[in-house]
Amino acid sequence: MRLWGAGGLAEAMSTENFVSNQIFINGWVDGTSERSTTTLNPFNGEEVATIRNASQEDVDKAYATAAEVQKEWAAVPPVKKARILNKAAQVIEDNRDAIVELIRRESGSTALKANIEAGLAMASLREAATFPARITGQILPSNTPGKSNYVFREPLGVVGVISPWNFPFALSMRSVAPALACGNGVVLKPASDTPIVGGTLLAHIFEAAGLPTGLFNVVVGAGSEIGDYFVEHRIPRLISFTGSTPVGKQVGATATGGKYIKKVALELGGNAPMVVLSDADINKAVAAASMGSFLHQGQICMAVNRIIVEAPVYDQFLEGFAARVSKVAYGDQLDDATMVGPIVNDSQVESVSGKIDLAREQGARAVVSGPIEGRVIAPHVFADVTPDMELFREEIFGPVVGVVKADNEEHALELANDTEFGLSSAVFTEDLQRGINFARRVEAGMTHINDITVNDEAHVMFGGEKNSGLGRFNGEWAIDEFTTDHWVSVTTGTDAYPI
Q: What are the C-alpha distances in Å from 14 to residues 40, 96, 101, 160, 172? A: 18, 10, 9, 30, 22
Number of helices and strands in the chain (H, E): 15, 24
Count of Cβ atoms closer than 10 Å to residue 141 Cβ: 8
CB 399 within 8 A of CB 342: no
User: Catalytic one among 267, 395, 409, 481?
Assistant: 267
* Sign (positive or negative) of CA dihedral 27, 217, 112, 378: positive
Which is it for strands 304-310 and 400-406: parallel, antiparallel or unpaired? Answer: parallel
Question: Facing residues of 446 across strands?
Answer: 424
The whole-angstrom separation of Cα 154 and Cα 374 is 50
Residue 457 among the catalytic residues: no
The whole-angstrom separation of Cα 23 and Cα 52 is 8
* Nearest alpha carbon to residue 116 among 171, 61, 77, 68: 171
Cα 482 → chain centroid: 16
Q: In a 3-state reduction of DSSP, which class is residue 453?
A: coil
Angle at 239 between CA 238 and CA 241, to 5 degrees: 145
90 φ/ψ angles, rounded to the nearest 5 degrees: -70, -35
Q: What is the CA radius of gyration of the chain?
A: 24
CB 56 within 8 A of CB 225: yes
DSSP structure string for 114-138: HHHHHHHHHHHHHHHTTGGGT---E
Cα 413 → chain centroid: 27
Task: List residues with catalytic annotation.
Answer: 267
